[in-house]
């Protein structure tokens, strides 16, 4: 059933173009309204939403972090992101104008379920993004958007994550549409961009060999860092989590802008650092990230740079350069995550670890 792949994880990474395409399918007709699955929240209620809180654990939490950027940008509604295990212990301010969005691949994560129960007690509306039909989390929510990634077997989430990110974009666009912040043709334009993403993912898969080679070259590293800005920041966290889970080495993701506030002190000769460079254009994010690469390289880091086609600024500072297709800034996680997943799987495989069933981990965490 591994379809010729050594590990389920590699098979699931390979299925990502269809996971994304299937999650988009059937939800939109040109110029028409987006259709979501079980939406037991009326448009009137949605228009009254004045705060959105996105809650999840692990990799799903990083999808939530991406969601915040899309939701605030497209809907102009304040959005918070919270780890499910922390949410209800901080006495959060919720009422019936609060929309709580939870994200869970399995639909059975206990921390997330407890957050949902708490939110509903406080009269908030709960919408869940979930990959598992009929699981507990969608059953206990007011509304559901199913991701259509297909069953995920490997403990490390891959296609589940990409599908979650797509569902978050769909939700953000849906709210933007209901609130009148975005109209049909704008939404069509954004959806068309998302519709082209599966080709971009396919390209990252086709170029996967460079990640396999890199995994061999970096074998023996006991610590690897990941830097990103904007939506590249959750991608950095996700790249680090994959490596921790599978390779059992120290891996950490940082917001690139935080470097000089502390983390740069750990940079030493030969330390591998992945840097996800945002597309050029907005808020000088690209320029600022390039200068971060210069700073770490001057201190001896071995830089692995993920940058879009045509970005020549990074070339002098990249020990390894991974090219990404040109996509809008907000959508970049859908392509930039892929090489990091391949890298983690290959790195762990070369260490002789069980890539599908890493030590100490379970596929769904049904205890708090």
Cβ closest to ligand M6R, residue 23 vs residue 109: 109
**Interaction residues for ligand M6R, span 157-176 (CB under 6 A):** 157
Q: What is the dihedral of CA 37, 40, 46, 50, to 10 degrees?
A: -110
Which of 18, 85, 112, 349 lies at the binding interface for ligand M6R (CB under 6 A)?
112
Catalytic residue, chosen from 179, 244, 288, 363, is 363
CA–CA separation, 104 vs 59, rounded Å? 9
Task: Quote the strand ranges of the chain, DSSP E.
Answer: 38-39, 51-56, 79-83, 98-104, 125-130, 143-146, 223-228, 250-255, 272-276, 302-308, 320-324
Q: Nearest Cα to 245, choosing from 151, 165, 360? A: 360
**Is residue 159 among the annotated active site residues?**
no
Q: Does 60 bind ligand M6R (CB under 6 A)?
A: yes
Cβ closest to ligand M6R, residue 105 vs residue 337: 105
Cβ closest to ligand M6R, residue 77 vs residue 109: 109
The distance of closest approach from Cβ of residue 246 to ligand M6R in the complex, given in angstroms and rounded to an integer, is 9
Cβ closest to ligand M6R, residue 97 vs residue 357: 357
Q: Does 136 bind ligand M6R (CB under 6 A)?
A: no
**Interaction residues for ligand M6R, span 235-254 (CB under 6 A):** 245
Cβ closest to ligand M6R, residue 59 vs residue 289: 59
Tell me the two tokens of residue 323.
Answer: 């090219």
Residue pointed to by tokens 């891959």: 158
Q: Does 135 bind ligand M6R (CB under 6 A)?
A: no
Contact 159, 149 (CB under 8 A): yes
Pairing between β-strand 223-228 and β-strand 143-146 as defined by DSSP bridges: unpaired
Instruction: Give the x-and-dash track for 82-111 against ligand M6R (CB under 6 A).
Output: ----------------------xxx--x--
Task: Measure CA 290 to chain center.
Answer: 22
Catalog residues that contact ligand M6R under the rule CB under 6 A.
57-60, 104-106, 109, 112, 155-157, 245, 361, 364-365
Catalytic residue list: 363
């Amino acid at each position: 059933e591994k379809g010729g792949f050594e590990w389920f994880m590699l098979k699931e990474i390979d299925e990502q173009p269809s996971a994304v395409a299937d999650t988009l399918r059937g939800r939109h007709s040109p110029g028409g309204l987006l259709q979501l699955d079980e939406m037991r929240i009326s448009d009137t209620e949605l228009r009254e939403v004045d705060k959105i809180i996105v809650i999840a654990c692990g990799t799903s939490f990083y999808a939530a972090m991406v969601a915040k950027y899309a939701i605030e940008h497209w809907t102009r509604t304040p959005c918070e992101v919270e780890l499910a295990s922390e949410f209800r212990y901080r006495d959060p301010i919720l009422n019936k104008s609060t929309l709580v969005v939870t994200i869970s691949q399995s639909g059975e994560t206990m921390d997330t379920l407890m957050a949902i129960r708490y939110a509903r007690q406080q009269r908030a509306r709960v919408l869940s993004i979930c990959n598992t039909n009929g699981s507990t989390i969608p059953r206990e929510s007011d509304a559901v958007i199913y991701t259509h990634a297909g069953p995920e077997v490997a403990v490390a989430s891959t296609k589940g994550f990409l599908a979650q990110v797509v569902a978050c974009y769909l939700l953000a666009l849906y709210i933007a549409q209901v609130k009148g912040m975005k109209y049909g043709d704008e939404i069509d334009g954004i959806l068309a961009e998302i519709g082209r993403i599966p080709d971009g993912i396919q390209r990252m898969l086709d170029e996967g060999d460079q990640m396999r080679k890199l995994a061999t070259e970096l074998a023996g590293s006991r610590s690897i860092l990941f830097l990103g800005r904007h939506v590249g920041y959750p991608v950095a966290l996700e790249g680090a989590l994959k490596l921790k889970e599978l390779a059992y080495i120290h891996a950490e993701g940082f917001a690139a802008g935080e470097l000089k506030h502390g983390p740069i002190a750990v940079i030493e000769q030969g330390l591998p650092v992945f840097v996800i460079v945002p597309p050029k254009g907005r808020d000088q994010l690209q320029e600022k990230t390039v200068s971060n690469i210069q700073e770490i390289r001057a201190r001896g880091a071995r830089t692995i740079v993920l940058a879009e086609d045509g970005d020549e600024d990074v070339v002098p500072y990249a020990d390894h350069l991974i090219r990404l297709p040109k996509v809008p800034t907000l959508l970049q996680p859908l392509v930039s995550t892929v090489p990091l997943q391949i890298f983690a799987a290959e790195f762990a495989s070369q260490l002789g670890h069980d890539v599908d069933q890493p030590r100490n981990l379970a596929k769904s965490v049904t205890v708090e």
